[in-house]
Structure formats: structure tokens, C-alpha cells
Copies of this chain bind each other. A is one copy, B any other.
Amino acid sequence: MAEEVKVLRFWTSPFSGRVELALGLKGVSYEIFDEDLPNKKLSPLLLESSPIYKEVPVLLHNGKPVIGSMTIVEYVDDTWGNGHPIVPKDPYERARARYLASFIDDKIIPNFRKACWLEGEEQKRGMEETKENLKILEGEIKGKKFFGGDDIGLVDIAANYVAFWTGVVQKVTGVSLINEENHSNLLKWSQRFLSSDVVKGTLPDREELTALYQAARDAILAKKALSAN
């Protein structure tokens, strides 16, 4: 039986990108279904597949839904076990990789977003937290090619936002958090990660993403100018 693999996603979402990257590393072909998030019109397929979260990404494997980006990444590794290994085999390394992936989801991404997109006290706190978070991540990657060793693994996939999205967000918002002086190892890792052809195939077009974020930024500034009048 031919396998049917569908990804319900949104093109700007790093979480969707993780799923595509895991499938790409395994050499699994999949069909993309882009949800209309800007107009908040979710497809019946998404609503039926993910009735609780109603979020992208969803993986549909032979019609069965798998939900949650890192859960999907682990599912892909479990299901197509013979390809590129993603989750470490050693129980302790595995637990540590899951912990670092949670750290990226619970701390790094939300704090980075706060630091770049919010204002006042919340932004300030976001910046302080991000500096601490990045220090930890810089320490984790120091002396290594990838977070799990010599090739892309679970934590690298979780950190795709750090490698790619942060650059675009910093450029558009003018906030500078990642720099050569303090994060030289993280920046080298980003370059290494982004030079992988499989990774490249899962990233949004940089110019299109920049234009979208710029429009969001302009809208925020226009609203602010209006409210000041």
C-alpha cells in the first residue's frame, strides 16, 4: 500500500517547519496543505484532526492525525526508524534532548518574541530573559557541531526558530539580541544548520517572510501613532 503523508501547516510557522524537516531528513514524501491562518479560516480537515488545539502543524499518516510539533518529530523518527536518526538512542541523552527542546519552546521562543514585538516593561523583561536563555544555549552548543553530536537531531530541529526566524525578526524590529561577541558558537551552528539542503527545503522564503513581518510591524507602529493623536 502506498503511504499517504499529509502536513497541515502554515508557511511562516517554525513549528510546521520542524515537521517538514523531520520528514525531509527521513526522505519521506509528503503533501502540503496550507491553512488560511491570516483570515482565521481553518480547513475542515484541520478542525476534525485537531479538535482541541485547532493549530498547525498536524501530520496525517494514512489518515491518522498526529498532533504537536515535537510529538510529530518523535513519531516520524519512530515510524521511519531506518533513515537519519533524530532522537538519541541513549535514555539519558534522549531525556536531555527533550528537556532542551522544551526549554526552546517554553522559554527561548516566547521570550525572544516578547523582546522583539512588545514594548515597555514586558519587552524589557523579555530582553533580560532572552539574554540569560541565549547564554545557556551558547554553552550547550560550544564545542559541538550540532546539539546532539555530528548531525542534525532533535534539539537542532526544535531550534530552527533560533537559526532562521530570529534573524528576520531582529532585522524587521531593529532589536539586536544575538551577536558575534557573545554567541559565536550559536551563530556558527546556525550557519551550519542553514547550509543543509534538507533544512533549506523547509524554510520560508526569507524575503517573503521579511515582507510579512514588516507589514505586521508597520501595522503596530501605525496603530501606536493613531492612539497617540
Contacts and interface: CB of A to CB of B under 8 A. Distances in A.
Main secondary structure of the interface of A (DSSP, over half): helix
Nearest to A106: B53
A113 interface: no
Copies in the complex: 2
A95 B107 contact: no
Interface residues of A, number: 24
Interface in A77-126: 78-79, 91-92, 94-96, 98-99, 102-103, 107
Contacts of A98: 68, 71, 74
Contacts of A51: 136
A213 interface: no
22 contacts: A51-B136, A52-B107, A52-B136, A61-B92, A66-B92, A66-B95, A66-B96, A66-B99, A68-B99, A68-B102, A71-B95, A71-B98, A71-B99, A71-B102, A72-B95, A74-B94, A74-B95, A74-B98, A75-B91, A75-B92, A78-B91, A78-B94
Given A66-B95, A68-B99, A71-B99, 11 more contacts: A52-B103, A52-B107, A66-B92, A66-B99, A67-B99, A68-B98, A71-B98, A72-B95, A74-B98, A75-B92, A79-B91
